[in-house]
Amino acid sequence: MRAGAREAVPGVDMGRQDATPEAVRCKQALGISGGGCREAKEATVALRKMVDRLTKPVEDLDREALGSYCDKLGATPMNQITPRTPIRVAGEVRAVRIVPRAGASATEVTVSDGRGSVDAVFLGRRRIAGMSPGHRVLLSGVAGRDGNRYIVYNPEYTILD
């Protein structure tokens, strides 16, 4: 090696991205000539997604799918709720309880979008048709905070499925 020359280090870009040893091996393995290994990178990303689907717990996959569904509806993510502000949240009903409040019954519905949860309290109602665990709903109202949880009293609701 001549004086002042840098030693080639595998994986380090020495000025030309397609001249790294990894890029050369990638091109040779795939028979790609010219402008890079974009196809190989796309295949690697697809393979990584498939491996994630096969190795992640089902609960994590369900949580991600529910979060993306709620994002498509344009609802506020439940981990970004601020108290005393109007909110529009969507999610899946996790629990329905009848709780006595100040002598009258109230129905508490816990709704989750995979990132957080909100309790919708319907005062004076013993049941709400269509509100059962597993159904997806859209809630609108003003959120309040009670300890660690967010509560929406008598929200407007739409049953989505």
Domains in the chain: boundaries: 17-55, 75-159
pTM, whole model, 2 decimals?
0.65
Identity of the residue numbered 140: S
The contacts of residue 14 (CB under 8 Å, 6+ apart) are 6, 8, 20
Per CATH, the number for 75-159 is 2.40.50.140
Which amino acid, residue 93? V
CB atoms within 10 A of CB 3: 4
Kindly give, in sequence order, each residue whose CB lies less than 8 Å from that of residue 37, ignoring residues fewer than 6 positions away.
18, 23, 26, 27, 30
pLDDT digits (tens, 9 = 90+) for 16-40: 555 566 666 666 655 555 455 677 7
